[in-house]
Amino acid sequence: RGIKCSLCTKILKKIKAMAGEDPDEAAVDTALGKACQVLGKRVGRICKQLVKKYRDKIVEALQNGDQPREACVAIGFCK
List, for residues 25-65, the tens digit of each pLDDT value: 888 889 988 999 998 999 999 999 999 999 999 999 988 88
Domain ranges of the chain: 1-75
pLDDT at 69: 95
Q: Name the CA radius of gyration of the chain, rounded.
A: 11
* Number of neighbouring beta carbons within 10 Å of residue 68: 21
DSSP string, 2-29: HHHHHHHHHHHHHHHHHH-SS--HHHHH
CATH class of 1-75: mainly alpha
